[in-house]
């Protein structure tokens, strides 16, 4: 008989997991609410257990509330925000469709890359990182390109800017075009009115403004997007994210599609429950108050903010790195010496800004005080 040899473990005496406790004030993840982590410990149920299906129904109802939408197809995608992003693209685009994408930061570019992979004829409208599109600029681009879909990033996490949405939905209807919106860094922390804004497809994540762990991501599509889905000539090119199939698991048919990450759904349910208990408008107010407290503290230290006040996000602030300071070294010392994580700049803003997130559970005065105190020690002369 052939003898098979065992490959020995690489770490034979590995200790149980033990990691430092950090205050996560970067672009995400943010710290999950302790009650959310507690809920995640609940033993798993089968993904077709009636008790678990009840949890899924509650998640759907809670998501409609925090997004301010009545869309029946409002679900959590198993995966991070990028999976939910891909779900909007995969279900709305057919090869050859003209898609206009607003690019004013890193995540606009990710949408361009993704839409291209699904065969879209991608056109872009661009702005320097940190700025937003005016309605007139969007109208001019719509007139030039006449797209089937306009995709925008509401809260551009790479720049800290918030795209104004007034009038955009009407513009899209005038041009018979779907409106797709990234609300990853706004949902829960900044006002979002999906139905009033006329948004047809949107996605988010769990680990930013919702105060949850990553891995179960909000997705929604309205009637006009459903109609386009039903009129497709080609199958949705992504089996895992096909809403024709996922809708049957989340809807009344309850057809097996994939094994839901049940503990993450417990966590998301608890995070959303807490948000509903607080009241969504109170959460928006809390985020706004704490971020204004942060801005005032940073400006008191002589630091400058990258985005014009009118367009700043309540969830993510870009702070200019002062002349002569080493942005990476300071972020590293914040982590090593103070257990605080902040983010560096991406793309056009690499080395020029730090990114400070005050999202979900972390949008608290104590978080701001801890960060300001640490920065005072690390930035000489501040």
In angstroms, what is the minimal distance from the CB of 186 to ligand PLP?
Answer: 8
CB of 174 to ligand PLP, least distance (A): 26
Is residue 45 a contact point for ligand PLP (CB under 6 A)? no
Q: Binding to ligand PLP by residue 182, rule CB under 6 A?
A: yes
Binding letters toward ligand PLP, positions 86-125, x by CB under 6 A: ---------------------x------------------
Rounded to an integer, what distance in angstroms lies between the CA atom of residue 83 and that of residue 241? Answer: 8
Given a contact cutoff of 8 angstroms between Cβ atoms, the answer to whether 201 and 26 are in contact is: no
Residue with tokens 């995966």: 79
Q: Does 334 bind ligand PLP (CB under 6 A)?
A: no
Would you say 152 or 274 has its CB closer to ligand PLP?
Answer: 152
Span interacting with ligand PLP, options 114-122, 134-142, 149-157, 266-274, rule CB under 6 A: 149-157
CB 353 → ligand PLP: shortest distance, Å?
15
Q: Counting contacts by CB under 6 A, is residue 26 touching ligand PLP?
A: no
Binding ligand PLP (rule: CB under 6 A), the pick from 36, 59, 81, 319 is 81
- Residue 89: C-alpha distances to residues 149, 169, 241 (Å): 10, 18, 10
- Nearest alpha carbon to residue 249 among 239, 257, 260: 257
Contact between 93 and 178 (Cβ < 8 Å): no
**Residue closer to ligand PLP, measured from CB, 90 or 155:** 155
Q: Which residue in 28, 188, 198, 247 binds ligand PLP (CB under 6 A)? A: 28
By CB under 6 A, is residue 205 in contact with ligand PLP? Answer: yes
Phi/psi region, residue 214 (left: phi>0; alpha: psi -120 to 50; beta: rest), is beta
Stretch of residues binding ligand PLP (CB under 6 A), selected from 79-87, 140-148, 227-235, 299-307: 79-87
- The binding track of 244-273 with respect to ligand PLP, each residue x by CB under 6 A or -, is ------------------------------
| Residue 218 in the binding site for ligand PLP (CB under 6 A) | no
Name the closest residue to ligand PLP (Cβ): 81
Taking CB under 6 A as the rule, does residue 181 contact ligand PLP?
Answer: no
Tell me how far apart the alpha carbons of residues 335 and 236 are, in angstroms, rounded to a whole number: 43
> 47 or 110, CB closer to ligand PLP?
110
Cβ(130)–Cβ(160) below 8 Å = yes
Is 345 an interacting residue with respect to ligand PLP (CB under 6 A)? no
Smallest separation (angstroms) from ligand PLP to the CB of 16: 27
Give the number of residues in contact with ligand PLP, rule: CB under 6 A. Answer: 14
Query: Residue 77, interface with ligand PLP (CB under 6 A)?
Result: no
Closer to ligand PLP at the Cβ: 33 or 80? 80
Question: The sheet that has 178-182: what strands, in order across it?
Answer: 73-78, 216-221, 201-203, 178-182, 149-153, 98-103, 121-126
Q: Answer yes or no whether residue 240 interacts with ligand PLP by CB under 6 A.
A: no
Exactly one of 33, 74, 80, 92 binds ligand PLP (CB under 6 A); that residue is 80
Q: Does residue number 343 form part of the binding site for ligand PLP (CB under 6 A)?
A: no
| Bridge partner residues of 149 (DSSP) | 99, 178
**Residue of 59, 184, 216, 371 that binds ligand PLP (CB under 6 A):** 184
Residue (of 305, 382, 286, 367) closest to 22 by Cα position: 367
Q: How far is the CB of 188 from ligand PLP (least distance, A)?
A: 13
* Chain positions contacting ligand PLP, by CB under 6 A: 28, 80-82, 85, 107, 153, 155, 157, 182, 184-185, 205, 214
């Amino acid at each position: 008989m052939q003898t098979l040899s065992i490959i020995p473990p690489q770490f034979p005496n590995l200790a149980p997991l033990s990691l430092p406790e950090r205050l996560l004030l970067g672009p995400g993840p943010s710290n999950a609410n302790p009650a959310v982590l507690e809920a995640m410990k609940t033993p798993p149920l089968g993904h077709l257990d009636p008790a678990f299906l009840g949890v899924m129904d509650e998640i759907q109802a809670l998501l409609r509330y925090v997004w301010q939408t009545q869309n029946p197809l409002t679900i959590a995608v198993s995966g991070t925000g990028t999976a939910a992003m891909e779900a909007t693209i995969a279900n709305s685009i057919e090869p050859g469709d003209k898609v206009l994408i607003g690019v004013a930061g890193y995540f606009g570019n990710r949408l361009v890359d993704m839409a291209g992979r699904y065969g879209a004829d991608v056109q872009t409208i661009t702005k320097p990182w940190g700025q937003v599109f005016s309605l007139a600029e969007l109208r001019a681009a719509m007139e030039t390109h006449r797209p089937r879909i306009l995709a925008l990033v509401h809260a551009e996490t790479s720049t800290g800017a918030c795209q104004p949405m007034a009038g955009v939905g009407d513009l899209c209807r005038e041009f018979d075009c779907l409106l797709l919106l990234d609300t990853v860094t706004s949902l829960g922390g900044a006002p979002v009115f999906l139905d009033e804004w006329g948004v047809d497809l949107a996605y988010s994540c769990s680990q930013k403004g919702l105060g949850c762990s990553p891995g179960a991501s909000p997705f929604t599509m309205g009637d006009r997007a459903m109609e386009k889905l039903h009129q497709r000539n080609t199958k949705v090119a992504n089996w895992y994210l096909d809403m024709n199939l996922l809708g049957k698991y989340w809807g009344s048919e309850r057809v097996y599609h994939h094994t839901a990450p049940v503990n993450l759904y417990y966590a998301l349910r608890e995070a959303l429950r807490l948000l509903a208990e607080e009241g969504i408008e109170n959460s928006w107010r809390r985020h706004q108050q704490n971020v204004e407290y942060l801005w005032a503290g940073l400006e008191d230290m002589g630091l400058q903010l990258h985005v014009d006040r009118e367009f700043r996000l309540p969830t993510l602030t870009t702070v200019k790195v002062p002349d002569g300071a080493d942005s990476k070294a300071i972020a590293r010392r914040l982590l090593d010496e103070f257990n605080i994580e902040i983010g560096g700049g991406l793309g056009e803003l690499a080395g020029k800004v730090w990114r400070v997130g005050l999202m979900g559970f972390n949008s608290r005065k104590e978080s701001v005080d801890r960060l300001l105190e640490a920065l005072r020690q690390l930035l000489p002369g501040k």
